[in-house]
Chains A and B, each alone.
Chain A
Amino acid sequence: MAVLDETQMREGVDRETVETVQSMAGTYKHGWETEIEMDFAPKGLNEDIVRLISEKNNEPEWLLEWRLDAYRRWLTMESPDWAMLNIPEIDYQEQYYYAKPKSMAEKPKSLDDVDPKLLETYAKLGIPLKEQMLLAGVEGAEEGRKVAVDAVFDSVSLGTTFKKELAAAGVIFCSISEAVQDHPELVKKYLGSVVPQNDNYFAALNSAVFSDGSFVYIPAGVKCPMELSTYFRINAENTGQFERTLIVAEKGSHVSYLEGCTAPKRDTNQLHAAVVEIVILEDAEVKYSTVQNWFPGDENGKGGIYNFVTKRADCREDRAKVMWTQVETGSAITWKYPSCILRGDDTQGEFYSIAIANNWQQADTGTKMVHLGKNSRSRIVSKGISAGHAQNTYRGLVSMHPKATSSRNYTQCDSLLIGDKCGAHTVPYIEVRNASSRVEHEATTSKVDDDQLFYCRSRGMDEEEAVALVVNGFCKEVLQELPMEFAMEAQALVAISLEGSVG
């Protein structure tokens, strides 16, 4: 492979491993396309398109106005330029903002009525849309686990599983377009309350043209009986996906939410600008896990998804807790900073991240921990891995406001470089505005530590085993935070790129 030949290999690096890493993009598993007739809104972006999307979703007047307001604000804004990303100019008029499979023209009553071609798509991706017990896939795990899935295909949600069982517990889990119809008061109350329309350029764009996404409402005191999951698939060409997710966790409730995404291999870039808002009230807890595996482009950097995402959790009341876990392996460009607003006293925010950038991928990702409440705690563990010609940046903010006394943050950012043509960067912002809070930030960039290798070797391990052991430890802190279903997928993705690849 041409890219590989240019890369100078370090002594001790297993050539095979490097080849495997280099070829990851070439072997993107989910790069196939579903051939299906689609209904497109006309290309381009203007107020009429915004109206059309709103009309297609049969939205109330207030939501249309909300969208138009966002669109008008977006027109006055500029694309952010502060990330360490080289973003080619995006022609927003050359995109489709709404694409819906023709067979979905009439909304199917249940998943059984959905076009088999679409169901096949998800079966091929390994996403269960049948209400069956899921084996976690872990050897030795005897107990079956249930995961409810909302499947979003281009601009529309195909359906949601386990609805009845969830409803029995009082949990609402449906597409956001359904929520607008069935629970308008909840949507109106919370939409935009965490990420306002003019929060940033991409959030404004999303607010104007979002077509679907998931809505989750967990009533007070309820521990959601199963894990909830949304699976996003971009299929149509030149189509942007703009999903909007809203999660509301009432007092004392608890939910674990998973998100996955893939897209076909194409040699043009595609746009994905999502917004996720999470509202967490007193004593409630939300765990949000993502495995982001959008098509990253080929080994020459052609194609791939541009992923501009705004994700934010608002721990609005005392003792609310949020945990973000992300494994970012896909996308040509990733611009993503899942954040925690720790508004209540004794609130807690956690962020665990593995970001892998290979070939010509660029990732600028991290988190924001905004401490407003007393005695609030946050923890950030970020592991960045760069290979090929990729650039991988951790960017994060820890802010202790004057009133957030006796708060605590611990941040650890580690980067690993594989090959001499890539870059790994760390850009933390630390703002401490009171004395009783403690903030600690640590970051390292390195290859595998010789002392650790020596330690292992001197206890009789061979070099390969020693490297494997040390490197395995690199990602473990993050992987162990993932729910089991995702841990398997993530481990497989990470294993390819890490195994014995440093020396």
Chain B
Amino acid sequence: MMPRAKLKAQKVEAAQALLADRTLPEGGAWITKARNAAQARVRDMGLPTKRDEYWRYTDPRRLTDAGVVAGALHDTKGEPLVFDQIDRIKLVFVDGVFDEQASDPLVLDGVEICQLSQAARTDLHWARDLYGSLDARAQSPVERPLASLNTAYATEGVLIRVTGKPQKPISLIYLRKSETADAMLHHVIRVEAGAEATVLENGPIATRFNQVMEVDIADGGTLHHIRAQGRDHERVGSAHLFARLGEGAHLKSFTLTANGALIRNDSIIWLDGAGGSAHVAGATVGDGAFHHDDTVFITHGAPRCESRQVFKKVLRGGAVGVFQGKILVDQIAQLTDGYQISQSLLLDENAQFLAKPELEIYADDVKCSHGSTSGEIDDNQLFYLRARGVPEDTAKTLLVLAFLAEALDEIADSAFADDLRTRLEAWFERRG
């Protein structure tokens, strides 16, 4: 075993090497301050390694290596993108760069939308107290250098301020056209008191991506976040969702992941106000050289909050699914209701499921539970369907979809859930 001091020195050296020929982007005073602070954090922490506790199941090297390995583009065969049938305001990014031509005008009642690249040039912006602040807050007790790297160097993204209840969802569409693009996106969302919005994300982003979304939901505000990470297989990426919730605020975040050589999704959520709720859910289907990691930290920092983590993974052909989840309940957070479930269905002997579902509890009047299971398709259930004349393949697909249903049920609006369910069915049909 390498001594801890030596390991730390190696991490710091790796960060220095990575940052050596990078200069911070130009911008206004507020963003420059945030970028400088983030860059200093990266220098302090160093880059992640597999020896870090929360990288033990996922090797971060491909996310930080100097070069990007070219990845073939996916032939969509004319299949429309997810959410295509839904009336929404579209913001299109190609290989991580905002495409004004392809996007709708950034005008919608009850919401202010602005590109990061434009806001960064101003000297005063509503996002000044938010940009990078949740990333900074999330660095203890677990270091997350990839997020700080993003805060320091990202130039693309959107800043969304929800002041009312916009009629349409705000849809971020990520197209991929280059085989070698290395993209960084940094979004900031502020939901004002009592406001409510839905943010959709879909598309492969880039061959390699590092994405951060910082969300601040004021008292009584609500954010629905639905994300579909699919399509192009040959890509690696990391996405951080940081969210802070005020009193009586609600967050519902759902992610569907299909394909991707290496995808790491971190969700770090703080329930700062009494009576808030945070639901984070994910459904993952993976086949072959697929490595998917969901890492979720929910901190109950106020009384009477509720949180749910529901993660389902269907894996085969060597696919690896990782779940690391924590419910942390502060001493003050009495009457907490925390629930966490992570389950995997392994369709053949080569698939792997690696999980670390944690509870850390400092309040006594709480109800917290977690469960984690792994196994293959239940023979009894299969037999039941076969005995009723359902062909084996159909029966298996049915059982797999039923397994994933609990996660999809976490989506409040059934129109989105139905759309994603159709995609999942198609995914299984294509693969037989």
- Spell out A's residues near B (CB within 8 Å): 10, 77-78, 81-82, 84, 400, 402, 405, 415, 417-447
Contact = CB atoms under 8 A, between A and B. Distances in A.
Nearest to A426: B359
- Nearest 8 CB-CB pairings of A with B: A435-B346, A417-B364, A438-B375, A432-B374, A426-B359, A430-B355, A441-B372, A444-B369
A81 B347 CA distance: 37
Given A405-B349, A433-B352, A435-B347, A425 B360 contact: yes
A430 B353 contact: yes
Nearest to B369: A444
A436 B376 contact: yes
A439 B374 contact: yes
Secondary structure dominating the interface of B? strand
Given A10-B364, A436-B349, A445-B368, A415 B331 contact: no
Contact of A81 (B4, B350, B367, B374): B4
Given A405-B349, A447-B364, A426 B371 contact: no
A312 to B, nearest CB: 18
Given A430-B353, A434-B346, A442 B331 contact: no
A402 B360 CA distance: 31
Contact of A77 (B1, B357, B369, B376): B1
A12 to B, nearest CB: 11
Interface residues of B, number: 38
B366 A415 contact: no
Interface string B339-365: 000001011111111111111111111
B349 A443 contact: no
Given A422-B364, A446-B366, 15 more contacts: A402-B349, A417-B361, A417-B366, A423-B362, A425-B359, A425-B360, A433-B352, A439-B375, A440-B371, A441-B371, A442-B369, A442-B371, A443-B357, A445-B361, A445-B369
Contacts of B363: 417, 420
Nearest to A82: B53
B374 A425 contact: no
A435 B354 CA distance: 12
A428 B365 contact: no
B53 A432 contact: no
B300 to A, nearest CB: 12
Nearest to B338: A445
Nearest to B334: A420
Interface string B356-397: 111111111111111111111000000000000000000000
B364 A432 contact: no
A434 B353 CA distance: 9
Interface in B252-285: none
Contacts of A431: 352-355
| A interface majority secondary structure | strand
A428 B342 CA distance: 12
B80 interface: no
Given A420-B331, A427-B356, A445-B369, A432 B361 contact: no
A435 B356 contact: no
**Chain B CB within 10 A, most for which of A425, A427, A430:** A430
A441 B357 contact: yes
A10 B346 contact: no
B356 A419 contact: no
A429 B356 contact: yes
Interface in B199-248: none
22 contacts: A10-B365, A78-B3, A402-B349, A405-B349, A415-B361, A419-B364, A424-B361, A425-B358, A425-B360, A425-B361, A426-B359, A428-B356, A429-B356, A430-B374, A431-B355, A433-B352, A435-B350, A438-B375, A442-B370, A442-B371, A445-B369, A446-B368
B322 to A, nearest CB: 10
Contacts of A428: 355-358, 372
B367 to A, nearest CB: 5
Contacts of B334: 420
Nearest to A446: B367
Contacts of B373: 438-441
A434 B348 CA distance: 8
Contact of A435 (B351, B360, B372): B351
Given A423-B362, A424-B361, A434 B349 contact: yes
Contacts of B53: 82
A78 B3 CA distance: 7
Contacts of A78: 1, 3-4
Name which of A420, A432, A434, A437 has the most chain B CB atoms within 10 A of its CB: A432
B331 A421 contact: yes
Contacts of B357: 426, 428, 430, 441, 443
Contacts of B348: 435
Contacts of A402: 349
Contacts of A77: 1
A423 B331 CA distance: 9
B49 to A, nearest CB: 15
Contacts of B347: 435
Nearest to A395: B358
A14 to B, nearest CB: 15
A442 to B, nearest CB: 5
A275 to B, nearest CB: 19
B369 A443 contact: yes
A430 B356 contact: yes
Contacts of B368: 444-446
Nearest to B57: A431
A190 B189 CA distance: 62
Nearest to A503: B365
A419 B334 CA distance: 12
A443 B359 contact: yes
Nearest to B327: A445
B349 A432 contact: no
Nearest to A198: B1
A192 to B, nearest CB: 18
Nearest to A393: B360
Contacts of B353: 430-432
Contacts of A84: 360
A423 B371 contact: no
B359 A415 contact: yes
A417 B329 CA distance: 12
